[in-house]
Amino acid sequence: MKNAYFAGGCFWCIVDPYSSMPGVEKVTAGYMGGHTENPTYEEVCSETTGHKEAVEIVYDESLLSYEKLVEVFFKNIDPTDPGGQFADRGTSYQTAIFTDSPAEKEAVQRHIKALESSGRFKAHRYRNFRYGPVLPGRRSSPNVSFKKPIPLSSV
């Protein structure tokens, strides 16, 4: 099993597209990218922790590719919006992909390049899209908070 991490606005909006995909074992809503250890929902919403609402996807790479997960992500967000996603505004709702490896980063870059070539979005607007590494020791890092996840089953 492998993990993938996507921030696409409100985490509930990004949970659903992945939860029924063949090869996805589990989708967990949480927070990533901030400087406060184990923030609460209220703290993240206060825009003071630096976190983004995100999902952790556990998937079987023999059944589902990382590239397909990236494709689904981009079909469910507006990567040109620096202020959040749709009705959800603020830095905690900004888009990001947290990559675990150079191969994942390259897959994201290839997808962005393909989108730019398609003319679907204006290329210069992609500066608002962020991707970055998942830090080692991610479950105890102050930059990642999935210790108190909101399980999909509680939806």
End-to-end CA distance of the chain: 24
Matching residue, tokens 């993990």? 3
Q: Which of 2, 3, 10, 142 is catalytic?
A: 10
Question: What is the rounded distance in angstroms from the CA atom of residue 86 to the CA atom of residue 130?
Answer: 17
Catalytic residue flag (residue 13): no
- 69 token code pair: 């997960």
Rounded to 5 degrees, φ, ψ at 69 are -60, -40
Which pair of tokens denotes residue 52?
């983004």
Which residues have a catalytic role annotated?
10
